[in-house]
């Protein structure tokens, strides 16, 4: 598996724990190679060599379109968001698109996004092959369930409910009438070993919590995480100096 991180194109980065302060520097130091954003786009995306892209957004609609540009408040005012980060260019190029939402609500799962920042439109296998792209799928995982895009109806279809979640609960948190697969199943929960690896090796600092808390709590959590990571980096620097 070859991992590519950042718009600068750090290619085949080794495993490291999640980090806010040091991730880019570590990936740059230990990647097998690196390339600029344009080179990564032309060498990997345009040639259809990327198999998986994992993306979240402020809004996702029933058709699988995403919005990470701007949303409307209930009073009509606007909230400016970080932007689409190049997804409008590459959404069709990678084989499999994995969308995720950590907070499945009527304002994040909407009938139609306020602004389309990215959307996969080249879906038919033969059409994708003609463009030099691998045929693939679009899936969505939220904190309540899992969906797969059905190209025949042009919508996301619910395939799994997470343990303890009922369909009525999921529907109440969705801004459109959910289509349900006739083979609806319960998501298989993670094993104890998978949770251990995630919590102690992949994300020992708990950085992923940033995606699960409300925006009002995020600033305080960021300060806390910065403090923990600075302490770890200071200790590692001191140990390196000793050895």
Using alpha carbons, select from 87, 144, 166 the residue that is nearest to residue 119. 87
Alpha carbons 121 and 93: distance in angstroms, whole number: 10
**What is the Cα gyration radius of the chain?**
20
Alpha carbons 1 and 195: distance in angstroms, whole number: 22
Element (H, E) at 154: none
Residues 68 and 159 in one domain: yes
Min mean pLDDT across 36-45, 49-58, 110-119, 218-227 is at 36-45
Residues 35 and 108 in one domain: no
> What pLDDT is stored for residue 198 in this prediction?
96
Residues 87 and 172 in one domain: yes
> Domain total for the chain?
3
| Helix ranges, 2-111 (H) | 23-30, 37-40, 87-90
Please compute the mean of the pLDDT values over residues 64-75 and round it to a whole number. 91
> What pLDDT is stored for residue 146 in this prediction?
98
Q: Which residues contact 162 (CB under 8 A, 6 or more apart)?
A: 143, 144, 145, 146, 186, 187, 189
Residues 233 and 138 in one domain: no
Residues 89 and 70 in one domain: yes
Residues 40 and 60 in one domain: no
Is the pLDDT at 149 greater than 80? The verdict is: yes
Residues 161 and 196 in one domain: no
Number of H helices, E strands in the chain: 7, 14
> What pLDDT is stored for residue 238 in this prediction?
67
Residues 104 and 122 in one domain: yes
Residues 22 and 56 in one domain: no
Residues 205 and 151 in one domain: no
Residues 112 and 230 in one domain: no
> What pLDDT is stored for residue 34 in this prediction?
83
Please compute the mean of the pLDDT values over residues 46-64 and round it to a whole number. 92
Q: Which of 189, 207, 225 represents a domain boundary (last residue)?
A: 189
Is the pLDDT at 241 greater than 60? The verdict is: no
- Could you tell me the strand order of the sheet in which 52-56 lies? 52-56, 96-101, 138-142, 145-150, 155-161, 179-186
Residues 216 and 126 in one domain: no
Q: How confident is the model at residue 4 (pLDDT cuts 50, 70, 90)?
A: confident
Please compute the mean of the pLDDT values over residues 185-204 and round it to a whole number. 96
Q: Which of 172, 189, 206 represents a domain boundary (last residue)?
A: 189
Q: With a threshold of 0.85, does the pTM exceed it?
A: yes
Identify the domain containing residue 185 by its residue range: 51-189
């Amino acid at each position: 598996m070859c991992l590519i991180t950042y718009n600068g194109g750090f290619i085949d980065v080794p495993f490291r724990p999640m980090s806010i302060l040091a991730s880019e520097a570590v990936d740059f130091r230990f990647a097998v190679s690196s390339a600029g954003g344009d080179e990564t786009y032309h060498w990997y995306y345009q040639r259809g060599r990327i198999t998986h892209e994992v993306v979240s957004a402020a809004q996702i609609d029933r058709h699988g379109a995403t919005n990470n540009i701007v949303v409307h408040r209930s009073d009509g005012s606007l909230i400016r968001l970080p932007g689409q980060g190049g997804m409008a260019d590459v959404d069709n190029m990678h084989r499999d698109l994995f969308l995720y939402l950590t907070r499945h609500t009527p304002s994040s799962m909407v009938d139609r996004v306020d602004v389309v920042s990215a959307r996969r439109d080249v879906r038919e296998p033969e059409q994708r092959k003609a463009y030099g792209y691998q045929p693939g799928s679009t899936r969505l995982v939220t904190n309540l369930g899992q969906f797969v895009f059905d190209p025949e109806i042009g919508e996301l279809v619910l395939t799994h409910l997470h343990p303890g979640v009922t369909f009525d609960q999921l529907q109440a948190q969705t801004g459109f009438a959910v289509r349900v697969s006739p083979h609806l199943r319960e998501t298989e929960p993670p094993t104890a070993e998978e949770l251990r690896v995630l919590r102690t090796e992949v994300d020992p600092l708990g950085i992923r919590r940033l995606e699960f808390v409300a925006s009002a709590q995020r600033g305080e959590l960021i300060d806390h995480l910065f403090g923990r990571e600075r302490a770890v980096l200071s200790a590692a620097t001191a140990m390196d100096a000793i050895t």
